[in-house]
Structure 1
Amino acid sequence: MTVASETVVEFSSRFARAFPELAVPWHAAEFPDARLLVLNEPLAVELGLDPTALRAGNGVGLLTGNRLPASAMPVAQAYAGHQFGGYSPVLGDGRALLLGEIATPDGRLRDLHLKGSGRTPFARGGDGLAAIGPMLREFLISEAMHALGVPTTRALAVTTTGVPVQRETVLPGAVLARVAASHLRVGTFQYAAAAGDDDLVRRLVAAALERHYPHLADADNPSLSLLEAVVHAQASLIARWVLVGFVHGVMNTDNMT
């Protein structure tokens, strides 16, 4: 990773600083032949980013994690999860990085997250890369969901890496840059709870309330109120999926935010 001479965006790195127990400092793999394939210009503008700057060298470097501003503290996030009925105590971002949080012009915080940016300590034998097809599919489906009024992460860009990826065949590699209100997962809380760290759980609850449900911070039982709000949000989300004919194939707690 190099520091970009012309800063495209500033990050706050709140998660990395507040939760070192859940954040492994890491850098993306180097992709010297990266090329921007598709950019979500309306989303870029919504985030307060200049689409022209994102198409230039520093912008493409930002979208692959290779040229970041000095304010960035990229981390692989730790979390646990129930996968296909079994509990995995340590999962984490095996091929993803949280670059940091962006403050939008209207005062919201949004995470900028990479997928397919290379192996991390959580890779568990995987190559940490992503093929171009699935990244384009996530771009299209997430934007379709957004247009249909279904809450979703959103894709900012897909960038080809110039690195071949071995799957059933050899495929072109790509990195997806995506945006979310946060990347706190159900599995984040599972990881903290399994560690027996009550203080960490309390800090996670406080952070989730501040970020997503500030009106519940003064509830009689903020933790219970957060749980009830998340249950309602997920039930509502899945109902909206059903209404548009979408079926999620991997409803694991590491995938649920």
Structure 2
Amino acid sequence: MTQARTLDGRAAGARLASFGAVTPGTCLNVVWQAFGSPASTNGSRYGGYQWATDALAAARDAGALVTDSSIEDAPDGAALFWTNVYGTWTRDGRRVYGDAGHIAIKGRGTNVNTIDLPTRGRAGIVTARQFRAAWSHLKFAGWAAGDGAFLGHRVTTAATASKPSPTIATAGDPNMLYFVKSSADKRVYALGLRYARHIKSMTTLTGLKSVLGGVKTLAPARFNDLLTLLDIPRDKLPKGSGAVWNDRK
């Protein structure tokens, strides 16, 4: 069995955008080449990865797929997946009707590094808004990063390249919030002992610096993964204060 490797998502995105002419409709093959043509870690599972929806299923099963997010919130270098690409495609040497899906790589900012946009038959870069406008029938299925994100391999992104090392209080008011600011989307995130909250309306940490003793930065943030990005295991939260983790915004 092939051992899992660590793949640099941001480098793969840059390679993808530079490929030039490609065969239309071969998104998975081109993304695979951009990632360095790694052999999958699970052999013939997932249909041998003939369609982008096969790679999507593998990322989902590995727990690497983020579905409650948007293209804009994905970290640079993450694998991006779409469904609702129905048509007659080649599978197991035959032409069959099905949803082949689409895969691309998140570029800088709101960019999507993909094939067939803005020009069919070429690799290119478009913004998330341009992607949605051009292919409005596609359904964004989520983004994947970390262990198992692509063909069983670990994909590093802007979120995993470097992590802050904040400290969380082990005693005191369980309702106190600890604030971090994303260096990617400039949003402010709050981590509490009882709950976590994404504060979209806040644009500054003025008056909150005393909470952490200084401004902390966090590269891109998925609300559900805030503890992971901060390297704070859930089981390390203070149990004495009745700390829980949930998805309330």
Fold match (TM-score > 0.5): no
Greater share of residues in strand: 2
- Which structure has the larger Rg over C-alpha atoms? 2
TM-score in terms of structure 1 length: 0.26
